[in-house]
Amino acid sequence: MLEVTNLVKTYKALRAVDSLSFTINPGEIVGLIGPNGAGKTTSLRCCAGILRPTSGQIKINGFDILTDQAKAKSGLAYVPEVPSLYELLTVDEHLKFVAMCYGTLDVYEERKDELLERYNLTEKRGELIATLSKGMRQKFSVACALVHRANVLLFDEPLIGIDPAGVAEIKQEFHNAKKNGASIVISTHLLDTAERLCDRILIVSRGRLLFEGTLEALRRRSQNQNATLEELFLQITEGDQGAPPPLA
C-alpha cells in the first residue's frame, strides 16, 4: 500500500508538487496522468525515496520513506523513465546484483531464466549492459523491478520505446502483480492504455491533483457517459497548463 499525504516539493522558487495526497490500495492499478511539467516524475521520485520532499509524508506498506527507509524500500520497486543501470555489469550479473541488494537471491534463482526469456534478453545475458539498445534497457529495468518482493510498484512511462511484444508482456506483468495484491502506479501520456489498464486515474496539473477516481466517475462529473479518457483529460486540464506556480 502507498499512502501520500500533503506532499510538497519545491525547486527553489518553483512549487513542482503542491499538497498532493492519494492512496494506492493493494490490488489496484492507478494511472498518474498530467501535462508535461505537471509534477508526475517529481512525485514518483519522492515516493521512491530519491528526492527528499519539502514537506508531507509518504508511507510504503506503513513505513515512512524518510524515517524507516530500509523497510519502506524493501517493498518498493521504481522503474524510471530513463533507466539508470550499471553499464559494466553483464545482464545476468546486474539482475543478480539487484536481487542481492534486496536480499532476494532466491527470487533471482527462481525467476532469472523466465524473466530474461520473457523480455527477449536470454541471448544478451552474458553481454554488458552498455551494449543494450534503448528498448532492451527499458525492458531490463522492468525485469530488475520484478526480481525482488516489491508490492508497491512505481512505473514512469514504462511503455515508451518498447516493441509491441514487450509492451504486451509488461501489461501482462501489471495484471499479474495486481492479482497478487500489489499497489501499482503508472505515470503515462498514453491515455488509451491508461483507460484500458487502470482501475483509477489521478490527474495532476501544475503540481496539484485535479481529479482522483474511476473513469466512470470522471464521465459522470463531466456529464458525458461516452467520452474517452483523452477527451475528458483535455477538458479538465484546459487552461490549467504551463509552469507550476512560483512560491508565494
Binding site for ligand ATP (CB under 6 A): 11, 14, 16, 34, 36-42, 243-244
Helices 134-145 and 164-179, packing angle to 10 deg:
10
Integer angstrom CA distances of residue 242 from 23, 36, 51, 100: 26, 8, 23, 43
Kindly write down the DSSP assignment for every residue of 42-76, as one continuous string.
Answer: HHHHHHTTSS--SEEEEEETTEETTTSHHHHHHTE
Nearer to ligand ATP, 7 or 91 (CB): 7
Q: How far is the CB of 18 from ligand ATP (least distance, A)?
A: 10
In the complex, what is the shortest distance from the CB of residue 233 to ligand ATP, in angstroms, rounded to a whole number?
13
**Residue 181 or 245 with smaller CB distance to ligand ATP:** 245
3 state DSSP class of 223: coil
Give the CA diameter of the chain: 55
- 100 vs 247, which CB is nearer to ligand ATP? 247
The single residue listed with the C-alpha cell 512505473 is 155
Name which of 14 and 105 has its Cβ closer to ligand ATP.
Answer: 14
Least distance CB 198 / ligand ATP (angstroms) = 17
DSSP label of 199: S
CB nearer to ligand ATP: give 45 or 94. Answer: 45
> Minimum CB separation from ligand ATP for residue 13, in Å?
10
Q: Whole-number minimum distance, CB 247 to ligand ATP, in Å?
A: 13
